[in-house]
Structure 1
Amino acid sequence: MNGIIDVVLPCLNEAAALPGVLTALPAGYRAIVVDNGSTDGSPDVALAHGATVVHEKRRGYGAAVHTGLEHATADVVCFLDADGSLDPAELPALVAPLTRGEARLSVGARVPAARGVWPWHARAGNRVLAALLRRRGLPVSDIGPIRAARRTDLLELGVVDRAFGYPLEVLIRAGEAGWAVREVPVRYLPRAAGTKSKVSGSVKGTLRAIRDMAGVLR
């Protein structure tokens, strides 16, 4: 598993965060920024910092992420939020279980780096969903936005959700396919100034994400 690793970054108005995120990518990790309708110049910022930019007109986290996956060409693909809340330097730790043959899907378990980073409403919804997955035999504690797997494996899973239920469906389908799934602790950081989470930034955003994920569980 040598060579370039693609990193898909779904993006909606993350111009303030992109420079820090893109310059922090480890050597050998290639950024694919999927713009989901930004109005703040995010695509231009991404291009200026060496990223490949793809445009996805359909709004939705899953739509952006899956489009990035379809444009990736590397054997291994990572997924990372573009708002600065996750450190790109931790990506090799996620890839390591794949390299060692210990997992087909590696997911990050967020550990808040400071008080208030992860609002109560987002943590509560995440815990409920993770508990439901553990009942299905998946050893996870987080439905997080940072993960790694082989590109062909992910495409073959046939994930259909194109909203916030996408990461949950990836886990469910991986479990049904009998994949070995490994969790890796990752620091959850304050977002870059000028950015706001589309999910945990408000109770409304969290409820929308839970609605999408509940639809996947059904």
Structure 2
Amino acid sequence: MDLSPTEVVDLESIPLNNEVIRGLVPAQIEFVKESVVEINEELGYVGQSLRAVAANLADIKSNIKPGNWRAFLKSGAINCSERFAVDLVSAYTNWLGGSDIDDNLLASLTPRSLALMGSKGVTDKERQKVFQAVENGERMTEAAVRVLVKGSKKKKNAYSKKTESEKVKSLKDKIETYRKIINNLQDENKKLSILLSNREKIEPLV
């Protein structure tokens, strides 16, 4: 027989700081701690469910033909979007299936984030950065996950690969472009000045 959460977890081990418990009576503090145990347990179930769904979807994909798989995703047979299912399968195939990461940590991440963590070139060390951020209470959006696992290497590498002469040429080209823009603006300014001057000469005669 399974034990209830409060029998498994020592409530005294639940970390509630003074700001949380200030002004609360002992019964209220106990209620909050019992709720924390239940919430954390449910979050574990969420992560466990995500992993199980991913595993089942991956099994289906590996046992039917690509055309049947695509048709299955569009059939509406499962209660999630096509994108949701594809991302979970990608995550499970690329890393999640062989990972022993705690289920409760998975609960804070979307299928898209989990798929990003399995992108080409992403290492276990980089995935660990994401889980560390989750444990630290950081808000892990898909954009935040992308930065942690991929950074901005592409932009940096594209610029760093240029030789010094190429960099100088690029800067000169930009300067020349700005010079042309300035010249055009000056020409437009002269034309406007002439128009205004002619208008001032004509108006008194009207």
State the TM bucket, normalised to the shorter chain. Answer: under 0.3
Relative to its length, the structure with more strand (as a share) is 1
Give the TM-score, by structure 1 length.
0.23
Give the TM-score, by structure 2 length.
0.24
Higher relative contact order (CA 8 A, sep 6+): 1
Larger radius of gyration: 2
Relative to its length, the structure with more helix (as a share) is 2
